[in-house]
Amino acid sequence: MPDFEYYDLNVQGPLAYVTLKRPDRLNTLGLGPWKEIVLVQDEIEANPDIRVVIIKADGDHFSAGIDLHDLEKVDSRWVADNIHWLQRLNSRWQDMNPIVIAAVHGVCYGAAFEMIIACDIRIASEDARFSIPEVRFGLSPDMGGSQRLPRLVGPGQAKRLIIACDEIDAREAKEIGLVEIVVPRDQLYERAEKMAKRIINNPPWAVRFAKKAINASLDSSIAGGLLLEQIQSIFCCGTEDQNEAIRAFFEKRKPQFQGK
């Protein structure tokens, strides 16, 4: 396993932990962390055994967003040459086969906010705080925030958070649909791992198709989405895992899935 500067990647069978690890800088993101996260994602996608990824962070806070010192170094030309690459970093979490869970505590601002809304499930500790303040710095969210956030919380809430730069706590984040689960701080990783194990215990192909079908529903017509459901049903019906799930149910035992 490569030794990373800004992250730890810890793979435990079907579960991978990605940990932001520069708490002395509030786990801020920027050119170095973004270049390195590509390598982390490459490692994950090269390992077909990984079924779930949990993204978490060392220290008191998840991430304060972009390092403003890095922001000072770029101009419109640099953005034009690199913005598609930056957007693709978050899209990879959304598109990859493993289910990606963000376990968030403390502050989660800006670029980190845009990263977690590209994840599949978000679990927050009670002390978590969320803000997407790009407008305050003369910008607009450009790593997917303006597109993914309305799909999660609706256009009105998205405009409030983006245009007014409102900061919200974990309770309000759950109320508006930004996060799915809120727990006490000392239960955050336990709850994320419990969710991960529930997913891992389900048939791999069914989980993979479910993720892709739900993602497609946000961008496609009902007809297109129903066609995708037809395809996954044709593929999954009669697989070894599907037959094993039924046998295990009737035999009152834990199923043993092979991804076949």
Residues 6+ apart with CB under 8 A from 225: 213, 216, 217
C-alpha–C-alpha distance, residues 256 and 15, integer Å: 17
Q: Reply yes or no on whether 114 is catalytic.
A: yes
DSSP string, 125-155: ETT-EEE--GGGGT----SSHHHHHHHHH-H
What is the amino acid identity at position 131? Answer: S
- Give φ, ψ of 117 to 5 degrees: -75, -10
C-alpha–C-alpha distance, residues 124 and 104, integer Å: 5
Selecting among 45, 134, 193, 229, the annotated active-site residue is 134
Selecting among 36, 72, 114, 126, the annotated active-site residue is 114
Q: Reply yes or no on whether 172 is catalytic.
A: no
Residues 6+ apart with CB under 8 A from 250: none
H or E stretch including 172? helix 170-176
Of the chain, the end-to-end C-alpha distance in Å amounts to 27
State the catalytic residues. Answer: 114, 134
